[in-house]
Structure 1
């Protein structure tokens, strides 16, 4: 019995932590850090999306205010033509000339709005609103960004991520994954 006690006392007790414990702790910490980074990246994407939506809504509000201020144009079809033409109209100097008529003011408004929108990564467009309940053809303003165009979806084809897609279905529903906002002009 004396021998077993000596053997036991000859083995020293471990002090501190071992390399395995350090590696396990490091692995857990790095996993937590990667998870936190992934959450922050996801949150940043949400912030970017909400910023673009805010810019889009502000642009739509300014557009409607400018259209209402030019109240002598009763038919918004003229605005629709200006918004949907590929080239941005040129700005006409109304202050240092004989003045501008309502159509020239509309051209100036659209030129200024489209230029500002493009600088912010937005595209403006105007379409006939879907499903007008009272039978009238009201107009809808659309602001789109990323790979979305300010139009209806022209087909039911599935689009890849790099191809552009419309904003709305023919019945007025947003297309899944579309980056756009629309508002009815009245």
Structure 2
């Protein structure tokens, strides 16, 4: 006589194995989603950084003669009244572009630009003006006017350094609003010449510092411009 056996239902072991396989698949899919989201976020930040770098490079080209004596009192003193060739080697070393000085400084909303004005009697007067992002107050970017010879003209006019400072502040604020830090340094290997030198625009995010430093583990790159492992930043050359 043939004996027939029938299996009814599913055993506990089969259920546990099925749940285990499903869990592994779900975990793998979740990890893939996390990586995809992280890659998307990284791509968005890089796109924003490239836009900021491109805008800043255009601003640097727009003000090729905007230079200040950095590290003096007041912080941003124009050299427009002095020929660069007349400066000593030490003075030349302290001269940087206004864009670089503003971007690399701690200034966020406003800076004071000073310059020496030569009067009609050959005496000199130091003029200081506050340049801000929103052009508030009585600075050169204010919208107030005055009447001269029957014509309405701006009450105050901007020097090239003041215009450069304002544009630099605007780009710096745009970067900060996106969680991006920005800095400008002399590119590794560039000639030590403060005029028309090769500059590197550095943007960094997620804890990476926008600097070129061999000793700082959080720096974007080393002093030779080589990216550090794990750094989240971009370096672009500008002139």
Q: Does 1:147 align with 2:147?
A: no
For structure 1, the residue ranges without an aligned partner over 5 or more in a row are: 160-164
1:82-97 aligned within 5 A: 82-90=102-110, 91=132, 92=135, 94=141, 96=143, 97=155
Runs of 4+ in 1 over 3 A off after TM superposition: 134-137
Matches within 5 A, 1:27-38: 27-38=20-31
Q: Is the 8 A contact 1:141 1:182 kept in 2?
A: yes
* CA RMSD after TM alignment: 2.3
Q: Hey, what does 2:221 align to over in structure 1?
A: 168
Larger radius of gyration: 1
Residues 130/181 of structure 1: CA separation in 2 closer, same or farther (3 Å cut): same
Which residue pairs with 1:162 in the alignment?
none
Partner of 1:26: 19
Instruction: Indicate how the Cα distance of structure 1 residues 171 and 154 shifts in structure 2: closer, same or farther if over 3 A, else same.
Output: closer
Q: Any conservation in 2 of the 1:124–1:141 contact (CA below 8 Å)?
A: yes
Pick aligned residue for 1:107 from 153, 157, 165: 165
Counterpart contact for 1:140–1:185, Cα < 8 Å: yes
The alpha carbon displacement at 1:104 in A equals 0.6
User: What is the DSSP-based 3-state SS (H/G/I as helix, E as strand, rest coil) of the residue aligned with 1:150?
Assistant: strand
Contact 2:210 2:219 in 1 (8 A): yes
Shift of 1:154: 4.5
Quote the residue 1:52 is aligned against.
45
- Give the drift of 1:76: 5.4
1:77 Cα deviation after fit? 2.7
Residues 81, 71 of structure 1: alpha-carbon distance in 2 compared, 3 angstrom cutoff = closer
Structure 2 CA distance, aligned partners of 1:113 and 1:79? 10
Distance 1:34 1:174 in 2: 33
The Cα shift of 1:40 comes to: 0.9
Counterpart-to-counterpart distance in 1, 2:99 and 2:109: 11
Give the TM-score of the pair, scaled to structure 2: 0.64
1:16 Cα shift?
A: 4.1
C-alpha separation in 2, matches of 1:166 and 1:77: 23
**TM superposition shift of 1:15:** 3.1
| Higher strand fraction (1 or 2) | 2
**Helix, strand or coil: the match of 1:151?**
strand
TM-score, scaled to structure 1: 0.81
Question: Residue 99 of structure 2 corresponds to which residue in structure 1?
Answer: 79
Query: 1:140-182: per-residue Cα shift (whole Å, max 9, x none)?
Result: 1111111111111251x6x4xxxxx111211111111111111
